[in-house]
Amino acid sequence: MLVHPNLERSLGFQLRLLEVEAEAQARKALEPFDISPARVAALMVIDANPGCTQTALGEALTVNRASAMKLVNFLEGRGLVRRTPSPDPRANALLLTDEGCSALKAMTIALKAADDQAMSVLTAKEASIFLACVGKLRDSFAAEGENNP
């Protein structure tokens, strides 16, 4: 069945289909850990920014404070993240627990294997151009968003 000539050539639609498949693949790679890709992304942000606040976590993941809080509630409940006192008593400083740290290492390995397998259909040159284009496009969208806030 035909989808539609305009859809086949549409950047947005093709990206959406690809992203849906990439997310499903990541979800599968994470099945042994019973955790979603978005939550692993949160762990990675905290790992890269120990002591960051929930608001900062939300900004890095482009979700709002309330959503960031739900993420942290889940990760804390799993024993992967700790809320610790921060210089500013209004804020929480987020840290990975020891368990969170070792779990993240294992998850990262699983995700990378899946990623590498998907990227293996591209030549090295294609992969490099592809990732550069993704970056350029993201910058382009970000610039547009600033012009029309």
Partner DNA sequence: TATTGTTATACTCTATAACTATA
Partner DNA sequence: TATAGTTATAGAGTATAACAATA
Per CB under 7 A, residues contacting DNA are 36, 38, 53-55, 62-67, 69-72, 83, 86, 88-92
With CB under 8 A as the contact rule, which of the stretches 24-32, 67-75, 79-87, 95-103 interacts with a copy of itself?
24-32
Beta carbons within 10 angstroms of residue 75's beta carbon:
24
What is the nearest approach in angstroms of DNA to the Cβ of residue 132?
26
With CB under 8 A as the contact rule, which of the stretches 64-72, 75-83, 84-92, 107-115 interacts with a copy of itself?
107-115
Angle at 69 between CA 52 and CA 103, to 5 degrees: 65
Nearest of 111, 100, 44, 110 to residue 77 by alpha carbon:
100
Among 124, 133, 147, 149, which residue sits at the site for a copy of itself (rule: CB under 8 A)? 133
Q: Is 18 in the site for a copy of itself (CB under 8 A)?
A: yes
What is the nearest approach in angstroms of a copy of itself to the Cβ of residue 131?
7
C-alpha distances in Å from residue 18, one per residue of 13, 22, 82 = 9, 6, 34
Rounded Cα gap, residues 80 and 100, in angstroms: 4
Among 37, 67, 74, 110, which residue sits at the site for a copy of itself (rule: CB under 8 A)? 37
Angle at 33 between CA 31 and CA 37, to 5 degrees: 70
